[in-house]
Structure 1
Amino acid sequence: MDIIKECVEALKELKERRPLVHNITNYVTVNDCANIILALGGSPVMADDISEVEDMVAIASSLVINMGTLSERTVGSMIKAGKRANQLHIPVIFDPVGVGATPYRNKVAQTLLNEIHFAVIRGNMSEIKCLNGLNVQTKGVDSVTDETGGVEVAKDLAARMNCVAAVTGKTDIITNGKAVCSIANGHPILAHVTGTGCMATALVGTYCGVVADSFIAAAAGVMTMGLAGELAQRTLQDKEGIGTFRVRLFDSVYNLGEDTIRKEGRIKLLA
């Protein structure tokens, strides 16, 4: 498999089809997630009221569920939308933000996993290990767990949940339980901007709206975020910081082209 070629084709398809991406996400990053989807070429809708989520997801190309800011109201909407998406064979992408931080968050994550089949689960190493039943340390919604054994942990989760597991960190890992790839794009400054993980999940959801193979969609989405982070950081001048970087991150996603992916996408198939 030429995974770079597959990512290029995915971007081309996305730009042509402009998928509608339904997001039930958190209020801290909702605007950034909407804008990053627009920058890539998708069309976002941020509808979370239980009275309309089934109707909204029925016209969408994909559904992104993000549990960053949980409430009983939105959990009900997540379950209802996710079940409807499953019935209609619309891919559902899960971002288990902060799982492991509190018993309530753990309970909600498990409920969602029991009720909904997810095409992709995207999280940091702490979140993915927690979903796999391992003891981890978290700091709020941030990972403080090292990446040791990350490939096996991701493969185990993907095989058990019959999904693609996407673990983002210093080196990103994407697996469907059999095929595995690593992605070396990215820059440490991404961790200093709120919502870059949520935005990466939104990008994965956008690719899932046009790409049947969730493994390719997840790889393309995660690589897009990492590569855009690199490109944005390179433009920073003296005395410019995370505010300028954040704006240029959107610009870098918006301007991302096929040649840049071919030249600078650092994706390696491990299995």
Structure 2
Amino acid sequence: MSDAPMNLGLADLFGLKDRVAYVPGGYGGIGEAIARALVGAGARVAVSGRNADKAATLAASLGGDALGLAMDAHSVDSVRASVDAVARHFGALDLLVNCIGIQREERLAEVSEDAFDEVVQVNLKAAMFLAQAAARHQVDAVAAGRAPGRQLHLLSVRAQLGMRERGYSAYCATKGALVMLIKQHAVELSAHGITVNGIAPTVVRGEMGAHWLANPVTREHILGRIPLGRVAEPSDVAGAAVFFCGPGAGFVTGQVLYLDGGLTATQ
């Protein structure tokens, strides 16, 4: 092999031509931005959520052979079936980008078992079995000579930081646990060249972040804590997702990118 320096183009680092990506939770604001960015990078994309019509509508707007399907994160059977359906439809599954997440806000003294269990089910248990189902296809694909796959999970800065004056017990616990799940899966799948990482944004403009930004006092408080002086845009998260899914990130695994405008650097 030549020792001469290589000229790498954007496609060599970020191109996803012919890669198959599955984005559970893909019709939310962040998930949609990620799905569109993956399509723009050349991937064939499937999106899912509880509402089959919303998933199908988004898939149609993505163009090409994008797929929209129903998936209920409350059911492990549904989670597994959705992964298998994507692999069957496209003949492969290379990239899992898990954008599922819910919050049931309750203060410590009022936390109910049902609400806590639901957040654990959706934020952590569904992630576990999405990863497991995807890994089975990805490991087989590597054995058959296909390029190693990627797994990526959407987290939150609340994986590392508690929330003052709010009831975030279940949410913080599940996002923190997901960090360790990512690390463990990264270790287990490393023998196959499959990488596992996470993106942990602060408040993101859009549906989920709207209530934070609607109140001027809350908005100024949030912006005052972020060194870059703004909240994240869905496109910020999408750009990071394309990086983690691309060829240029093949040596990055078990990592969490805190996409927070410098917030965690001040803590």
User: With structure 1 as the length reference, what TM-score do the two structures score?
Assistant: 0.43
Which of the two has higher C-alpha Rg? 2
User: With structure 2 as the length reference, what TM-score do the two structures score?
Assistant: 0.43
